Amino acid sequence: MTSATRVLVLNSGSSSVKYQLLDMRDGSRLAVGLVERIGEGTSRLVHTPAGGERRERSAPMAGHEAALRAVAAELAADGLGLDSPDLAAIGHRVVHGGLRFTAPTVITDEVLAEVERLVPVAPLHNPANIVGIRTARALRPDLPQVAVFDTAFHTTMPEYAARYAIDTETADAHRIRRYGFHGTSHAYVSRETARLLGKDPSEANVIVLHLGNGASASAVAGGRCVDTSMGLTPLEGLVMGTRSGDIDPAVTFHLRRVAGMSVDEVDELLNKRSGLVGLCGDNDMREIRRRIDEGDERARLAFDIYVHRLKKYIGAYYAVLGRVDAVAFTAGVGENAAPVREAAVEGLEQLGLAVDAELNAVRSGEPRLISPADARVAVAVVPTDEELEIAQQTYSLVNN
Ligand code: ADP
């Protein structure tokens, strides 16, 4: 047991660090902030302490160490320094935990080496997470630091959902399988949805639709993930802000052979120039709705393609689960875009799914039901809170 009650959550990207300091007695935020454009000339730090003014600084920060030192200085200025005895642990978001990490894990040299061995399957994400961990450990070598993996919640997927139907030896040699991502959010939202229904998570079957710029769906049976839409990488599944989601893999051969594109160009096309942005030039659902209201056909088609895919996944996961207690919408689009929610369940009355127009129009930061009172299956909006989930998982690990 520790008497310290604070947890610092770090989400380290290749050129950014997002952070939140939480008080675990009530889950409140003591400070939140981010550093952007690390290693790109002038970096920008935005820091907001609870109940205080937002502060913004621009300075060159060559790497994550300089960035984290700057964050530590901001926290110290608010009396929340990293050297405080009240700091119980640092929780790190780590994108890929492979098959080895099925739960949050206290970081040791051995754990870090294992996360490094996963770089070939997560080349875009794990290197930045590793740099963040190394830097934080150098700053506070004595403090417990915990890795919370995006993939962990999905490690309960049965083998028949996790394996691609390709040659087994080739798949195993290169660790090719469906890992899934956004797991921290799917775990949090499925649990909060059960709570909203007044059920224990072990009794609730929930389809979670995490619709942010990245988007994924999951089928959660009694608190355990049984299927999810992202795969080896976050490219598979739903139509996203800039990613295509599901596509015939032969499209990539075609782009190579016929369009003469390199592997990197195809990668960039499917990850950065596809999805909503590829279809209509915008990836912000607000802008797309505005254009639709003005009669823009491309925006309309992009919206329809997005919703069609979503509906297919709702149907697929309904079939996977057999019995569904709730469909939960979360993240930027899921929490805010009422027209997406309405369109996604439209025509699914036979499945017991419907949205009440008035409830759907309510804007709120609270978990809420948007289905009619007599609906067989609940439709819910449940704001995600990945930082709180990371902090709670971190704290419960070091506080045992
Ligand atoms: P990520 O964490 O993946 O970057 P978020 O969960 O923050 O993404 O979601 C960002 C997206 O949410 C935006 O690209 C935009 O499409 C959508 N969004 C945010 N606010 C609204 C809103 N008020 N109405 C419709 N869509 C919104």
The fraction of the chain above a pLDDT of 70, given in percent, is: 100
What is the set of active-site residues?
150
Q: Identify the pLDDT of residue 145.
A: 97
Give the residue whose CA is nearest to atom 8 of ligand 1.
Answer: 212
Asked which of 59-63, 226-230, 301-305 is least confident by mean pLDDT, the reply is: 59-63
The 10s digit of each residue's pLDDT in 158-181 is 999 999 999 999 999 999 999 999
Candidates 119, 89, 325; CA nearest to 202 is 325
- Which of 214, 96, 241, 191 has the alpha carbon at shortest distance from 384? 191
198-386 and 6-149 share a CATH fold: yes
In the chain, the percentage of residues whose pLDDT exceeds 90 is 93
Would you kindly state where each structural domain of the chain is located, as residue ranges?
Answer: 6-149, 198-386
pLDDT tens for residues 21-43? 999 999 999 999 999 999 888 99
214 lines ligand 1 (CB under 6 A): yes
Name beta bridge partners: 133.
none
Can you list the alpha helix ranges (DSSP code H) found in 119-245?
Answer: 126-139, 159-162, 168-173, 183-196
Q: In this structure, are residues 345 and 327 in contact, taking their beta carbons and an 8 Å threshold?
A: yes
Assess whether the C-beta atom of 34 lies below 6 angstroms from ligand 1.
no
In CATH, the number for domain 198-386 is 3.30.420.40
Task: Give 131-164 pLDDT, tens digit per residue.
Answer: 999 999 999 999 999 999 999 999 999 999 999 9
Q: Does the pLDDT at position 1 exceed 70?
A: no
pTM, 2 dp: 0.95
pLDDT at 2 over 80: no
What amino acid is encoded at 251 in this protein? V
Q: Which residues contact 200 (CB under 8 A, 6 or more apart)?
A: 194
Taking domain 6-149, whether its CATH number is 3.40.50.20 is answered by: no
Residues 209 and 311 sit within 8 Å (Cβ to Cβ) = no
Summarize pLDDT for 195-210 with one digit per residue, the tens: 999 999 999 999 999 9
Residue numbers in the known binding site for substrate are 93
Q: Could you read off the pLDDT of 87-109 as tens digits, one per residue?
A: 999 999 999 999 999 999 999 99
334 phi and psi angles, rounded to 5 deg:
-60, -35
Give pLDDT tens digits for 346-372. 999 999 999 999 999 999 999 999 999
Ligand 1 pocket member 360 (CB < 6 A):
no
